[in-house]
């Protein structure tokens, strides 16, 4: 421990630092955030005299503002004020020091405060050792300093992090006391190493001589001269440095004379250098064997005695503000991440070398093999290396890691996802339940009350008292060795038999790492239909902020001064909104949230507000601030789009949230992200915007916390600000890397430990211990309705089919399938459309609601020029054109038809006729009977004749009788059969009419992925006098809400036409009892989701689902494809675009076979 002899003269350095003019002149010295730092020092008044020196940090080679934890030590490092203030000293060491000891210290240190502090801690003064300054590390004030630093940082970055520091402020007390007993460094073990000489000479080193192990850093070119070799302690520890100079791992050793003798072998130096650089360890060497005449490259055997530095235990706890230092609108991660990983590897190696085994590991950690960890880290390194490294010199500039982020994270295989979910679903059916507040107007099911209890305890951060404080699963416990390598007793310290290591991050701790989550929220991941919204509403009612409680207690006195609205002028910053819960939901769900909020609340107990579109003019800050709490909306509902656009606005104002007065100007009591998988991509702007929303309690609702990759979960965790997982480097090290190195189970185990305290997830098919379903849903039947295409339709279909097949085969032969993918896909699309309605394939304006729609319009022009197809379609339209106006029939004809309508069908004897249809000679029968008979005759090659009068029938002149029962006197009209209608529409109409006859007033939902098809269904509904509504992606939010309200309110058997896209997610359509799926989607999961809009909680009756599938067509084959599990995965976005294409080509092959 005598580094000082060979180092650059300290005086020189000190002189440099104390020279104030130097500082002023130095460009390095100017740091914009200085004032903040001064202000931020209130708790450390004693340090203030040395503040000016503190400013000199830059000159010591540390670039300002890089925020490395080691920064905090620097003030002491540079303290060099003549004189020795014992009070200051004591404040540094955090202990009372006896006057005797003080005297001794002063002598030993030559009145150098810095030295004295160090000596005090390393105990060297007691032995009256040579008066050497020890490595200049921080004393007991370090934790304090750290707080200060982070405080300062939060001050500079717009104050949005102010909350983070609240949480932290509590911890230092214990830490300080622990560290008091921790010596500056403490022996952990020793190991031997064969080093090599870098010079020749005789008796450079003898057996038993001690050897100094040191790191030499290449100084930045601009570094001030005169620092000498630079001692390890001064080695800049700016997080970036490790990354920037990763190649430099040289560890030299010098003999007692200070002459460099050699270096440690590379493989040892690799990690030893990290430990030294990051101030984790110190190494003292002893020469075991060295040849008398040393030649360069000779092997010299050393024994290295390793001690963990106290600094290693300082500072490196969870770093809340570090984690969030992403500034308001920017990201930086990579250097920190690398430092972490290096330390992790180094520590694991160290423990391996000194054969120190954990005395206690958590169950989870035990499973994870040490080697696996190293492997993971190495993989990480390769991974890093394989990526073109961005310039890391200036980390504030352009260091957004987005380039590599876009693709990180592999997809989970379905079975892995299943495993994960299974693990996350361990729901305790005996969990406590809570009763909602009285203002809550709905009845909760038992499991919903359990959710309420869980959520309330999460928000109140109630620890489960029954559970013992368990060790953080990622940590390992190690016992300090009691004897050193020579079997000598080592000094022991009170209450310090153990230390704790997190092998995943390389963190060290003296404190027992308790597993705790400071997140006052969580992930409510109940499966769709279990009532997440209701559960959340019950929480909003049942757990309110103190402010809100006070307000509730006091009988409303709106005239009281305090509750009068205040002027917004004073607002300068983010304000608390103690009574407001912000709900962010997809646009289509805004109205639903509002109505649920109203339904769930007794009158007047909840003010809700949709913050969207025109309503956005309100100044939210003024509305919701604490002063206006009495009138503030309790629930603000907004969309992801609004969040994003306001985020951009705030960003454009350089993060000035307050004056914007919008969503970002408040710190809400609670935020709820609905359908939170919207932010699954952490690099998406929406996700970033959501991260920046401030709230005391943060919740995400999603039925699928992990859609397909583990990173999906990260984004949620990041939003929730769950430490330490919200740090991406942390996440990457523990989860992404093991996962990518195929150590799935470990990664998933870790994920589970992350999820377990955060997630509540129940599924619909969960059974209570007594075997009852969690949510008894009424039954659902699903029928496939075979559709037979009419002849002209079939001709169109066959034509397109042949064409598509030809194109495909040609491309397969030419090997150009991928290239022609779009065109092939377009043809398949046309084929699918022709199953719905031939006109769809033709109409350029009605482009399919399908991903490649834009390209399709172009590629489909190949079909557009196709004259054969043209004529086929014309034939179809000729047959179906509604040329004759049906109202030309005289009243007497209608009267006669009306009289007959109650008669039985002459063919099937059904009474009354089903879909009464009349011939041109006005003879009636059921529609089906009549058509069957006509077909029967034509099949036999006969001319169809009337059933009654044997008149030859013009098949064009067959009319269906339409009764509009909506009116007081039923209106009668005739509708030419098949006019502009396809077989599918016909089938749909038949079902709807039958439904009307059997259960008038039953509402139905009709799904199609082609909005243009919906447009063709509309006139058919109109003609059949079936009332309908329509909701598709093109509609504005207001219009959608209106449609949903009308659909819910109507007493008639309304039909809701929904595009699969717009209606697949979130909507609650339980007022309908019938679902008609007009066309199959590639994966049934998407259809199932749509069906679940109707068949979900709240549905009181049996739901009947009809899927219309054209016989002997691609649709039938698509059903087969749906059965293939893998394809379900791909359609959910689990594959890359390229993989998707390949997969689709496989499918197309099957379709065209």
Partner 1 sequence: MAALPKRIIKETERLAKEPVPGISAVPHEDNLRYFDVSIHGPQTSPYEGRDGTVKHTHVHLSNVHVGGIFKLELFLPDDYPMTPPKIRFLTKIYHPNIDKLGRICLDVLKSNWSPALQIRTILLSIQALLGAPNPDDPLAPDVAKRWKEDQEGAIATAKEWTRTHAMT
Distance in Å, CB of 446 to partner 1, minimum: 47
CA-based nearest residue to 477, from 505, 516, 517, 513:
513
Please report, in angstroms and rounded to a whole number, the separation of the first and last CA atoms in the chain: 80
Joined together, the tokens standing for residue 235 give 């080695």
From 1082, 959, 1103, 1067, select the one nearest 1009 (Cα to Cα): 1082
Task: Supply the minimum distance, in Å, between the C-beta of residue 1086 and partner 1.
Answer: 38
Minimum gap (Å) between residue 832 Cβ and partner 1:
34
Report the interhelical angle of 99-109 vs 86-93 (nearest 10°).
100
Shortest Å, Cβ 915 to partner 1:
16
Which of 343/923 has CB closer to partner 1? 923
Shortest separation between residue 919's beta carbon and partner 1, angstroms = 11
Taking the complex as a whole, the smallest distance from the CB of residue 975 to partner 1 amounts, in Å, to 23
953 — phi, psi (to 5°)?
Answer: -90, 140
Q: What is the 3-state secondary structure (H, E, C) of 745-802?
A: HHHHHHHHHHHCCCEECCCCCCECCCCCECCCCCCEEEEEEEECCCHHHHHHHHHHHH
Q: Between 619 and 937, whose beta carbon lies closer to partner 1?
A: 937
The nearer residue to partner 1, 940 or 967, going by C-beta atoms, is: 940
Q: Which is nearer to partner 1, 676 or 918 (CB)?
A: 918
1050: helix, strand or coil: coil
Shortest Cβ 933–partner 1 spacing (Å): 5
Give me the least distance between CB of 909 and partner 1, in Å please: 4
Nearest Cα neighbor of 984 from 830, 797, 785, 827 is 785
**Closer Cβ to partner 1, 266 or 936, answer by number:** 936
Q: Smallest distance, Å, CB 428 to partner 1?
A: 53
List CB contacts of 907: < 8 A, sequence separation 6 or more.
925, 926, 929, 930, 932, 933, 947
Which residue's CB is nearer to partner 1, number 46 or number 907? 907
Nearest to 739 by CA among 363, 383, 472, 476: 383
Which residue's CB is nearer to partner 1, number 879 or number 908? 908
Which C-beta is closer to partner 1: that of 930 or that of 1043?
A: 930
Residue closer to partner 1 by CB (options 871, 903) is 903
Q: Is the Cβ–Cβ distance between 718 and 726 less than 8 Å?
A: yes
Give the span between the Cα atoms of 512 and 117, in whole angstroms: 27
Using an 8 Å Cβ cutoff, are 1009 and 1060 in contact?
A: yes
**Least distance from C-beta 594 to partner 1, angstroms?**
51
Beta carbon of residue 911, minimum distance to partner 1 (angstroms, whole number):
9
Cβ 1109 to partner 1, closest distance in Å? 25
* Shorter beta-carbon distance to partner 1: residue 206 or 936: 936
Crossing angle for the helix pair 1114-1123 and 1137-1152, to the nearest 10 degrees: 130
Residue 375 or 937 having the CB closest to partner 1: 937
Q: Write down the residue that tokens 């279909």 correspond to.
A: 797
* CA-based nearest residue to 1137, from 590, 536, 226, 407: 407
Q: 201 with 255: CB under 8 angstroms?
A: no
The single-letter DSSP state of residue 735 is I
Residue with Cβ nearer partner 1 (908 or 1048)? 908
Chain positions contacting partner 1, by CB under 8 A: 904, 906-910, 925, 929, 932-933, 936, 945-948, 950
Beta bridge partners of 701: 524
CB of 994 to partner 1, least distance (A): 16
Residue 1088 token pair: 């199932």
Least separation in angstroms between residue 899's CB and partner 1 is 17
Rounded to the nearest 5 percent, the helix, strand and coil shares of the chain are: 45, 15, 40
177 in Cβ contact with 274 (< 8 Å): no
Which is nearer to partner 1, 809 or 948 (by Cβ)?
A: 948
Q: Burial letters for 982-1014: b for 16+ Cβ neighbours within 10 Å, e otherwise?
A: bbbbbbbbbbbbebbeeeeebbbbbbbbbbbbb
Does residue 860 contact residue 784 with C-beta atoms inside 8 Å?
Answer: no
Among 380, 337, 373, 322, CA closest to 476:
373
Strand 251-254 and strand 210-215: the pairing is antiparallel
Question: Would you say 696 or 910 has its CB closer to partner 1?
Answer: 910
**Closest to partner 1 by CB, 470 or 909:** 909
Cβ-based neighbour number of residue 956 at 10 Å:
16
Q: Do residues 1103 and 1095 lie in contact, with contact meaning Cβ atoms separated by under 8 Å?
A: yes
| Distance of closest approach, residue 913 Cβ to partner 1, in angstroms | 12
Nearest distance from C-beta of residue 609 to partner 1, angstroms: 59
Q: Which is nearer to partner 1, 132 or 908 (CB)?
A: 908
Q: What kind and span of H or E run contains 542?
A: helix 532-542
Shortest distance, position 993 Cβ to partner 1, whole Å: 19
CA 893 – CA 920 distance, rounded (Å): 11
* Residue 902 beta carbon to partner 1: minimum distance, rounded to whole angstroms: 15
Which residues are CB-contacts of 1044 (< 8 A; sequence separation ≥ 6)? 591, 592, 1031, 1067
How far apart, in Å, are the Cα atoms of 580 and each of 521, 671, 896? 15, 9, 67
DSSP H helical ranges for 887-1010: 891-900, 927-939, 983-998
Q: Which is nearer to partner 1, 446 or 950 (CB)?
A: 950
Positive/negative CA dihedral, 489, 490, 493, 495: negative
Nearer to partner 1, 462 or 957 (CB): 957
962 vs 120: CA distance, rounded Å: 100
């Amino acid at each position: 421990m005598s580094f000082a002899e060979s180092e650059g003269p300290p005086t020189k350095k000190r002189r440099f630092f104390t020279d104030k003019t130097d500082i002023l002149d130095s460009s390095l010295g100017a740091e914009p955030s200085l004032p903040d730092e001064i202000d931020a020092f209130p708790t450390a008044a004693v340090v203030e005299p040395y503040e000016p020196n503190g400013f000199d940090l830059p000159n010591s080679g540390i670039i300002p503002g890089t925020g490395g934890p080691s920064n905090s030590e620097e003030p002491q490092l540079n303290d060099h004020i003549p004189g020795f203030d014992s009070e200051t000293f004591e404040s540094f060491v955090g202990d009372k020091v006896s006057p005797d000891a003080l005297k001794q210290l002063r002598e030993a240190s030559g009145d150098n405060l810095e030295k004295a502090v160090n000596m005090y801690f390393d105990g060297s003064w007691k032995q009256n050792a040579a008066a050497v300054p020890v490595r200049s590390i921080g004393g007991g004030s370090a934790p304090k300093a750290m707080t200060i630093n982070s405080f300062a940082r939060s001050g500079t970055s717009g104050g949005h992090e102010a909350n983070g520091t609240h949480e932290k402020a509590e911890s230092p007390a214990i830490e300080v006391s622990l560290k008091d007993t921790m010596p500056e460094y403490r022996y952990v073990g020793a190991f031997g190493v064969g080093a090599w000489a870098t010079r020749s000479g005789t008796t450079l080193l003898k057996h038993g001589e001690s050897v100094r192990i040191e790191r030499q850093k290449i100084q930045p070119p601009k570094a001030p001269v005169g620092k000498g070799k630079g001692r390890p302690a001064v080695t800049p520890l700016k997080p970036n440095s490790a990354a920037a100079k990763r190649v430099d791992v040289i560890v030299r050793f010098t003999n007692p004379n200070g002459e460099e003798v050699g270096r440690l072998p590379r493989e040892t130096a690799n990690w030893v250098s990290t430990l030294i650089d990051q101030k984790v360890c110190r190494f003292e060497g002893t020469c075991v064997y060295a040849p008398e005449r040393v030649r360069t490259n000779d092997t010299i055997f050393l024994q290295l005695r390793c001690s963990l530095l106290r600094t290693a235990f300082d500072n490196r706890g969870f770093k809340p503000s570090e984690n969030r230092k992403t500034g308001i609108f920017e990201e930086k991660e990579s250097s920190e991440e690398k430092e972490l990983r290096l330390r992790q590897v180094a520590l694991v190696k160290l423990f391996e070398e000194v054969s120190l085994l954990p005395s206690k590991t958590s169950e989870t950690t035990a499973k994870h093999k040490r080697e696996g960890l190293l492997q993971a880290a190495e993989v990480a390194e390769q991974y890093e290396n394989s990526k073109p490294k961005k310039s890391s010199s200036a980390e504030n500039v352009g260091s957004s890691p987005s380039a590599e982020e876009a693709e990180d994270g592999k997809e989970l295989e379905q079975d892995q996802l299943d495993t994960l979910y299974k693990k996350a679903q361990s729901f305790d059916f005996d969990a406590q339940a809570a009763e909602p507040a009285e203002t809550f107007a709905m009845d909760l099911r038992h499991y919903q009350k359990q959710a309420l209890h869980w959520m309330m305890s999460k928000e109140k951060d109630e620890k489960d008292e029954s559970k013992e404080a368990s060790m953080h699963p990622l940590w390992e416990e190690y016992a300090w060795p009691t004897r050193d390598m020579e079997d000598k007793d080592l000094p022991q310290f009170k209450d310090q038999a153990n230390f704790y290591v997190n092998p995943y991050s390389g963190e060290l701790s003296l404190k027992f790492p308790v597993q705790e989550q400071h997140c006052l929220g969580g992930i409510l991941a109940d499966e769709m239909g279990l009532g997440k919204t209701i559960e959340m509403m019950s929480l909003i009612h049942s757990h309110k902020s103190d402010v809100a409680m006070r307000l509730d207690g006091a009988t409303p006195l709106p005239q009281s001064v305090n509750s009068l609205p205040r002027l917004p002028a004073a607002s300068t910053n983010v304000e608390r909104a103690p009574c407001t819960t912000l709900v962010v939901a997809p646009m289509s769900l805004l109205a639903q949230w509002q109505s649920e909020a109203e339904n769930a609340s007794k009158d007047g107990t909840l003010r809700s507000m949709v913050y969207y579109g025109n309503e956005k003019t309100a100044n939210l800050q003024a509305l919701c601030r604490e002063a206006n709490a009495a009138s503030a909306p309790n629930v603000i509902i907004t969309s992801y789009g609004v969040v994003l656009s306001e985020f951009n606005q705030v960003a454009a104002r350089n993060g000035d949230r307050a004056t914007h007065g919008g969503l970002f100007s408040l710190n809400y009591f609670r935020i709820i992200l609905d359908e939170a998988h919207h932010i699954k991509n952490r690099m998406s702007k929406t996700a970033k915007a959501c991260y920046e929303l401030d709230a005391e309690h943060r919740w995400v609702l999603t039925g699928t916390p992990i859609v397909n990759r583990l990173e999906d979960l990260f984004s949620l965790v990041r939003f929730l600000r769950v430490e330490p997982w919200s740090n991406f480097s942390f996440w990457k090290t523990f989860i992404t890397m093991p996962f990518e190195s195929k150590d799935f189970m470990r990664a998933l185990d870790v994920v589970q430990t992350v999820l377990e305290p955060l997630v509540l997830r129940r599924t619909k098919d969960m059974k209570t211990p007594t075997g009852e379903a969690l949510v008894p849903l009424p039954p659902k039947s699903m029928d496939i309705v075979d559709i037979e295409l009419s002849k002209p339709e079939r001709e169109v279909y066959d034509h397109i089919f042949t064409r598509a097949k030809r194109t495909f085969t040609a491309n397969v032969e030419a090997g150009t399938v991928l290239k022609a993918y779009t065109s092939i896909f377009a043809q398949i699309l046309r084929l699918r459309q022709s199953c719905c309605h031939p006109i769809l394939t033709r109409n350029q304006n009605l482009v399919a609601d399908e991903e490649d729609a834009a390209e399709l319009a172009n590629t489909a022009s190949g079909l557009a020029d196709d004259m054969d197809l043209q004529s086929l379609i014309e034939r179809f339209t000729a047959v179906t054109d509604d040329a004759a106006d049906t109202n030309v029939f005289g009243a007497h004809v209608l009267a006669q038809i009306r009289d007959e309508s109650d008669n039985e069908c002459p063919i099937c004897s059904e009474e009354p006729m089903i879909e009464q249809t009349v011939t041109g000679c006005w003879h009636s029968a059921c529609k089906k009977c009549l058509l069957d008979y006509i077909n029967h005759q034509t099949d036999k090659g006969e001319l169809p004749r009337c059933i009654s009068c044997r008149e030859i029938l013009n098949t064009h002149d067959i009319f269906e009788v339409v009764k509009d029962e909506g009116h007081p006197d039923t209106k009668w009209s005739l509708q030419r059969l098949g006019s502009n209608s396809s077989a599918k529409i016909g089938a749909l109409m038949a079902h709807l009419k039958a439904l009307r006859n059997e259960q008038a007033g039953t509402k139905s939902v009709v799904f199609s992925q082609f909005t243009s098809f919906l447009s063709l269904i509309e006139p058919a509904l109109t003609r059949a006098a079936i009332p309908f509504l329509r909701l598709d992606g093109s509609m504005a939010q207001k219009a959608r809400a209106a449609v949903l309200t009308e659909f819910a309110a109507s007493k008639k058997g309304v039909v809701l036409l929904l595009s699969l896209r717009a209606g697949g997610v979130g909507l609650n359509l339980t007022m309908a009892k019938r679902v008609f799926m007009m066309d199959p989607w590639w994966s049934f999961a998407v259809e199932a989701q749509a069906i679940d809009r109707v068949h979900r909680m709240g549905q009181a009756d049996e739901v009947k689902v009809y899927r219309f599938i054209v016989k002997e067509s691609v649709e039938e084959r698509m059903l087969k494809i749906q059965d293939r599990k893998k394809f379900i995965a791909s359609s959910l976005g689990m594959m890359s675009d390229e993989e998707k294409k390949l997969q689709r080509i496989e499918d197309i092959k099957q379709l065209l076979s």
